């Protein structure tokens, strides 16, 4: 499982991290305001599943489907699911944004993806946009991205600059993405950027709608 978080294994096998606990409530506030009241959500690159369980618990009228290509991540997601015992939290899919052979054919009202674009090659972001364009219920299907981005009009925070350098030192294909490039890519797959939300610790939530 590709993550830069400090992970702790709980007795039931679920993975937890301080970062996930810190940002869950802030992310949830934005999602609650923009997700449909009822419907289905596909989460891409769910990681440990800590967010998936928390969001499904807080939004009981949404059918939440987590996913991750990592066996370790899916095991942790399953452990969180057992712990919360939620009827609206589905078993995790072995979905890889960069591999269309793993993509579902079902449609969803919304897609959510946190902290993937900078810890993966650009081809994964291309795949994410392609997938979102295919499975979003049109018109108005939502794609929500969370994480740090570069912005031409905003000076890069020192902490994000250091983070970007550390990512590229680990893998030359990683690194903070330009928000404008992500938005242009989204447009090419029929997704319009509709909102930028400033989040704590120099992160953003970017919202896109299928048109």
Model confidence pLDDT, tens digit, residues 133-170? 999 877 889 999 999 999 998 898 999 999 999 999 99
Instruction: State the burial class of residue 100 (Cβ atoms within 10 Å of its Cβ: 0-12, 13-18, 19+).
Output: exposed
Q: What three-state secondary structure class fits 108?
A: strand
| Stated pTM of the model | 0.93
Number of C-beta neighbours around residue 179 at 10 A: 20
Q: Contact, 97 vs 44, CB < 8 A?
A: yes
Q: What percent of the chain has pLDDT over 90?
A: 83
């Amino acid at each position: 499982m590709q993550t830069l978080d400090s992970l702790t294994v709980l007795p039931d096998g679920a993975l937890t991290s301080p970062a996930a606990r810190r940002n869950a409530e802030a992310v949830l506030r934005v999602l609650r305001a923009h997700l449909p009241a009822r419907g289905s959500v596909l989460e891409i690159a769910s990681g440990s599943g800590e967010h998936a369980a928390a969001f499904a618990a807080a939004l009981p009228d949404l059918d939440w489907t987590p996913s991750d290509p990592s066996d370790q991540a899916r095991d942790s997601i399953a452990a969180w699911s057992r712990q919360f015992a939620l009827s609206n939290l589905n078993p995790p899919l072995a979905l890889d944004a960069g591999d269309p052979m793993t993509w579902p054919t079902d449609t969803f009202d919304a897609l959510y993806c946190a902290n993937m674009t900078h810890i993966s090659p650009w081809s994964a972001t291309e795949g994410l946009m392609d997938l979102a364009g295919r499975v979003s219920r049109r018109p108005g299907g939502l794609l929500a991205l969370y994480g740090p981005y570069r912005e031409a009009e905003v000076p890069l925070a020192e902490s994000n600059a250091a983070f970007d350098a550390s990512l590229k030192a680990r893998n030359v294909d990683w690194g903070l993405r330009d928000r404008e490039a992500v938005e242009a890519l989204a447009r090419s797959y029929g997704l319009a950027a509709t909102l930028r939300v400033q989040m704590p610790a120099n992160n953003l939530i970017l919202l896109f709608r299928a048109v």
